[in-house]
Amino acid sequence: MKKRYLLIGALFLFACNGRLDEMRPHNMAEAESYLGSFNNIVNATSGLYGQFLMQAGGYSESHHYHGTYHVLGEFRGNNVIFAEAFPAQNGFMPSSDYLRAPDAHFFLNSDQKSQSYAWAMWAKSQQLILGASRNIIAIDKLFEETVNPDEKRDLVRLKGENAFLRGLMIFNATNVFGRPFWDNPDVNLGIPLDVEATADMLPRNTVRECFEQAVADFKLAASCLPDERSDRTFANKVASFGMLSRVYLYMGGLPESPNEEYNRLAAVYADSTFSLVNDVVEVLRGEELKDLYDNPKTNKEILFAFFTGNFPSGIGNAVHGYYSWSGYESEASSSVFCCEISRDYEKIMDKENDLRWKYFTEPSVRHAGRFSTTKYNGGADRVFDDYYSFICPSVFIRAGEVVLNRAEAYAKLGEDAKALRDLNEIRGRAGLEELSELSGNALFEEIFTERRRELAFEALTYYDYVRNGLTMKREEVSVSYSNYTGAQYNEIDPKTSRRTVCLIPAEELLLNDKLKQNDY
């Protein structure tokens, strides 16, 4: 069933991408009519997965959702440094990263779509939220009308998949455009929530409303999706439980003032991730760990990942080009890839014993004395002679993170023994010795550092700083952009700076006068 969904959806995606991008109230009657059949709901659901691949509005070759998500979560942290400036020219076309990547890295927060990743996140999130909402409404209607039990079962699954994708879009976009949950979530604004699929110009909902909608969507997804082993590039039950552990952790408050209820729920849903009867979720160990980022379809640790291998040959992962060569193999040493592992990250790694350093880093082929991550080097696809793209996955959530979610939640609950147990599980699988006799703030700090080691280059570290109210500082200063080397551009305190949030794109404010801009 899944393969059939994807094939039909790919055809739908490439045929109708323009219409999806421009969906406005004038075509809602047509959409409602189209979604009146089971096959068309399958098409539309599969098309949502395809939107991970397509650019936002076709505006730029690099305005992909997975690339945007990565940059806004990783470049703003301290695991990555720009070893050289992004080029004004990239091959035969202007590089859309020339201004947008430094904008994210240095917290400049442009409101112009040509100079910021914010527009791509905003536009793509709104597009997918609307599409998923339309699908869910149509599924509910068709479920009441159909008498075919197999079709009813499949409609329930489709509802779960749409709910998962909508929850993911809401949660990620709220973290980009909204203040952290510990800072007045009933007052501060997140994103508009068009869960009724009106396609109207709506005001922004509060951060609390956005988080609660994401929770509701992931719970709905978990209730609809079957307890069975599945292709991890599609929504599934364990991914829903894993995302609930993350969302509640983000709601769990500051280390000095944690919220007991939300941290307890983060631990409960982490437990649920590993408790399914008919599924297999494991933290990979030993030699298996080397294959963690190669193919997510049958990987026991990955819960949900974007994978360009689902799509036609020659379409690579946009993230790969930030860290390593792509294109002509003969020109690998001169190819432009500007991001390297920062000295800040090197300092927290045991290069002799930590398997993550051994398996997922390599000496840079371009920048002497520096190292690159290999997490995006899998799936080399020979497009034609000497030319390669890389169809490696972008992991959105995996079991290793869920264990650390539970560890942090336990630490904030004061259950030090349980927190230390989970911390040592991740350290042990990485080849590091167990820690003991840690408690309180010292234990929390060790868990935080372990999250940096474990989840580096997966677009989570920056949000770990923000949601815990911790100052993010880069000790190593990039020399690639000499105008942006001051402390104000390499350090950010979430408790005092409004630059933790991105600006609402100026174009969106012109289109929708109900939107209120973020301030500094």
What CA–CA distance (Å, rounded) separates 158 from 178? Answer: 29
- Beta carbons of 266 and 409 less than 8 angstroms apart: yes
Residue ranges of the chain whose pLDDT lies below 50: 1-27, 59, 61, 90-94
Contacts of residue 342, defined as CB under 8 A and 6 or more positions apart, other chains included, come to 78, 79, 80, 81, 474, 476
The per-residue DSSP string of 317-335 comes to -TTHHHHS--EEGGGGGGS
Alpha helices in 324-415, H assignment, sequence order: 343-347, 355-360, 399-413
SS3 302: strand
pLDDT value at residue 385: 87
Distances (CA, A) of 258 to 215, 403, 449, 500: 19, 19, 19, 20
> Tokens in use for 258?
């944690």
- Beta carbons of 279 and 229 less than 8 angstroms apart: yes
Which residue, among 419, 481, 56, has the nearest Cα to 266 in the 3D structure?
Answer: 419
What CA–CA distance (Å, rounded) separates 39 from 58? Answer: 26
> Tokens in use for 24?
């406005």
- Beta carbons of 210 and 191 less than 8 angstroms apart: yes
**Fold entry, domain 2-308+397-511:** 1.25.40
Query: Looking at the DSSP assignment, which residues form a beta bridge with residue 252?
Result: none
SS3 37: coil
Contacts of residue 367, defined as CB under 8 A and 6 or more positions apart, other chains included, come to 83, 84, 340
Distances (CA, A) of 307 to 102, 167, 312, 316: 26, 19, 11, 9
In this structure, the chain runs to a length of 520
pLDDT value at residue 3: 38
Is the CA virtual torsion 229, 234, 237, 240 positive or negative? positive
Q: In degrees rounded to 5, what are phi and psi of residue 394?
A: -105, 115
Residue in the structure block whose two tokens are 């942090």: 408
| pLDDT, tens digit (0-9, with 9 covering 90-100), for 402-441 | 999 999 999 999 999 999 999 999 999 999 999 999 999 9
Which residue, among 387, 364, 360, has the nearest Cα to 455 in the 3D structure?
Answer: 360
- Beta carbons of 284 and 301 less than 8 angstroms apart: yes
- Beta carbons of 410 and 416 less than 8 angstroms apart: yes
Report helix angle 38-50 to 149-177, nearest 10.
30
pLDDT value at residue 180: 98
pLDDT value at residue 482: 84
- Beta carbons of 293 and 222 less than 8 angstroms apart: no
> Tokens in use for 281?
């979720």
Contacts of residue 83, defined as CB under 8 A and 6 or more positions apart, other chains included, come to 338, 339, 340, 364, 366, 367, 370, 480
pLDDT value at residue 312: 66
- DSSP letter, residue 352: T
Angle at 311 between CA 22 and CA 241, to 5 degrees: 85
HSE-up of residue 122 (Cα within 13 Å, Cβ side): 25
pLDDT value at residue 64: 83
Angle at 155 between CA 151 and CA 156, to 5 degrees: 120
pLDDT value at residue 26: 45
SS3 277: coil
- Beta carbons of 361 and 371 less than 8 angstroms apart: yes
pLDDT value at residue 89: 55
Q: Domain ranges in the chain?
A: 2-308+397-511
pLDDT value at residue 380: 85
pLDDT value at residue 10: 39
pLDDT value at residue 20: 40
